Chain A
């Protein structure tokens, strides 16, 4: 066999293997085999897993996500069912507002107050944990709302970053069959 033919076959095999590896990668991401996904955004750039801050009239994007009204919210796209979620929000607030964040539960919101706040220069970092049972996920999207009860429109806050970690049992601990059953049940109920 000529060397060119061998070379072409090797190249073909490399392409096919790359496509297979990419497919397995997509599968592992969607099935969350590691049991954990991390979603980060600064709300400036389009992100497939997390929406921009809404409603838009309450946010001035050009001034660094300046919040001029409340409540505001964002949607998170979840590839499958999760048990726990933790949220870390970085924001600038010179007025020491009491901020509440929570996912939608249908008719209501599972609001929690940001209490253990760390100061990092001008920014503040707050963390919250949520139980994901009974949350209202629609078409694979879960809405999180942020509310500031004593908000003054003349004293805005700035949302800098949001990092979320969603957790569920790993593939090995849950078992392949149960993992797939849960995945298909979620997909069937959502889409």
Chain B
């Protein structure tokens, strides 16, 4: 017989790792992003913004999809898709990342704000139904 309790533990540890990675990256990007706004090149001369934001969004999406086990994943995806603000934020992020070659402080701030808004509405849309 497989040990279901062990499976649950692994699942919880996996989720905690993803969540911690997400929060760490989020705080890191927030701090370095603010420095970038005042001192352009601080973060972006060393790291590719599209990779960092992509990683952040992926970790954020995994955290949301795997959290709240009471809600079905299909329902979560539906909620995410129904959130117009979420989509707008993603489109805004893509435009900033791929179409602006000369990235300046305002673009960085806009990028960070879009991630903020995006994550806020993901959480809100799921929490609302959950509560």
Contact = CB atoms under 8 A, between A and B. Distances in A.
Nearest to A187: B39
B21 A15 contact: yes
Interface of A is mostly: helix
A79 interface: yes
Interface string B36-65: 001111111110100000000000000000
B42 A48 contact: no
Contacts of A139: 40
A170 B39 CA distance: 21
B73 interface: no
Contacts of B4: none
B60 to A, nearest CB: 15
B1 interface: no
Interface string B12-42: 1100110011001101100110000011111
Category for how many chain A residues contact B: 20 to 34
Given A15-B20, A49-B45, A191 B39 contact: yes
Interface of B is mostly: helix
B13 A7 contact: yes
Interface in A129-146: 139-140
A25 interface: yes
Contact of B31 (A8, A23, A46): A23
A140 B41 contact: yes
A81 B42 CA distance: 14
A22 interface: yes
A18 B28 CA distance: 10
Contacts of A117: none
A185 interface: no
B17 A11 contact: yes
Contacts of A191: 38-40, 105
18 contacts: A4-B9, A4-B12, A8-B20, A15-B21, A22-B28, A23-B28, A23-B32, A25-B46, A26-B32, A26-B42, A29-B46, A30-B45, A77-B45, A140-B40, A191-B38, A191-B39, A191-B40, A191-B105
